[in-house]
Amino acid sequence: MSASVHIHGVEFAYPDGKKALNGVDLEIGPGERVAVLGPNGAGKTTLALHLNGILEPSGGSITVGGLPVVETNYAEIRRMVGLVFQDPNDQLFMPSVREDVGFGPANLGISGEELAKRVDTALDIVGGGEFADRPPHHLSGGEKRRAALATVLSMTPDVLVFDEPSSGLDPAGRRDLIETLAGLPMTQLIITHDLPLALELCDRSVIMNQGRVVADDATRGLLRNDDLLAANSLELPYGFDHV
């Protein structure tokens, strides 16, 4: 249900030569929820794409639940690690939500009754029963986000990685999302600029900057360190000076 993630000295450069990761070290225990904070271009999304082998590091290593993230393990790694992308439109590409939620398990070779059961269970968790048979472009922003989460939950992942899960959501949609995430037992890595969300959901946060982890501590402690926040282009919302 939940697995540990070990990231050791991971380096990566894009084909244009831009170095995105400069030796990232990060240990996450099973069932832990960790926020990844940092300015734009810090390498947060690039790191997320390494956790299931979409991008391969040029140096260092990653293991998930003890399994190295290498090509021979990709099939199992992609079952174990559920990536929820920033734009749900990138994640919902099938004609209906139900088919989209079934896409992952179908790729795992599941079909028939078992597939239908997986899809229903995943949709239940996000409360998506009412939009299951609608095409994705008829969904609201919040519904799209929930549907996108369901598409990875149907693969029964052990680790969930979210890229900016609350961006573009209205306050009610954001509240629903926070409650859903709080109720999930999997290990979670939440990339976000939403500091109150990080504080509410994650006891621990890391700050990334220029392709490195520059701070790794209790979220509350990090958010109290004004100098650290300022040095990493982070700022608490107005009125949140005393966390």
Q: Is 144 in the site for other proteins (CB under 8 A)?
A: no
| Near other proteins in 195-224, by CB under 8 A | none
- The pair phi, psi for residue 239, each rounded to 5°, is 95, 0
| Near other proteins in 28-47, by CB under 8 A | none
Supply the minimum distance, in Å, between the C-beta of residue 111 and other proteins: 8
Supply the minimum distance, in Å, between the C-beta of residue 80 and other proteins: 11
Residues 13, 49, 231, 236: which binds other proteins (CB under 8 A)?
Answer: 49
Kindly state the tokens that stand for 81: 């690690």
Residues 11, 25, 87, 120: which binds other proteins (CB under 8 A)?
Answer: 87
Q: Is 135 in the site for other proteins (CB under 8 A)?
A: yes
Amino acid identity of residue 229, one-letter, is L
Supply the minimum distance, in Å, between the C-beta of residue 52 and other proteins: 6
| Burial profile 161-200: b = 16 or more Cβ within 10 angstroms, e = fewer | bbbbbbeebeeebbebbbebbeebebbbbbbbbbbbbbbe
Q: Is 117 in the site for other proteins (CB under 8 A)?
A: no
Q: How many residues bind other proteins (CB under 8 A)?
A: 33
Q: Is 79 in the site for other proteins (CB under 8 A)?
A: yes
Phi-psi region of 127 (alpha: psi -120 to 50; beta: other; left: phi over 0): left
The residue written with tokens 């958010």 in the block is 223
Interatomic CA distance for residues 96 and 93, integer angstroms: 8
- Give whole-number Cα distances, 116 to 101, 106, 134, 204, in Å: 10, 10, 16, 36
Which residues form the interface with other proteins (CB under 8 A)? 49, 52, 54, 75, 78-79, 81-83, 85, 87, 89-91, 93-96, 98-99, 102-104, 106-108, 135-138, 151-152, 155
